[in-house]
Amino acid sequence: MAANYIDEILLRIKSMSADEAIEAIGGNFYNKNVGWDELPKYPQFVQDIIFLADLDTALAMNGDVLMNNLARVPGMVAALKNIGTVDDSALLQKIYDAYIPTSEYDDITYEETRDSIWDGIINKA
């Protein structure tokens, strides 16, 4: 199997600063041909960088982490925990748990779920 950009970065990571490594790994994921299914073969810190970059991208693009990212939310939650942002991790987990359809709520739309979550957050403020 041919090396991809992450493999190449890991070969020279000791000569990079932390900022250079984070930018090289997280900043190039969408532009390179690496699939999400390949992430588990990499060290946890690489996975965390990519999941956090994905979270940041989702928030910057439309502010909605669940839309188009549902399967990746558990990785985002884990990455937030791993960097010590426990409150943010717990909040994202709560939102994710509230969205996951169950047989009782299968017919509720994504938008209805999102709106009810936001209503709960706003009403608590």
Per the structure, the count of domains in the chain is: 1
pLDDT at position 44, please?
96
Q: DSSP assignment of 12-29, as one string? A: HGGGS-HHHHHHHHHTTG
- Full residue range of the structural domain in which residue 43 is found: 5-124
pLDDT at position 1, please?
47
Q: Are 66 and 73 in contact (CB under 8 A)?
A: yes
Total-model pTM: 0.75
Could you read off the pLDDT of 97-120 as tens digits, one per residue? Answer: 887 765 455 555 666 666 766 666
Q: SS3 of 34, please?
A: coil
φ and ψ at residue 75, rounded to 5 degrees: -65, -35
Closest CA to 52 of 92, 5, 13, 96: 92
**Greater model confidence, 13 or 64:** 13
Q: Say yes or no to pLDDT of 55 above 60.
A: yes
Give the count of beta carbons closer than 10 Å to the beta carbon of residue 28: 16
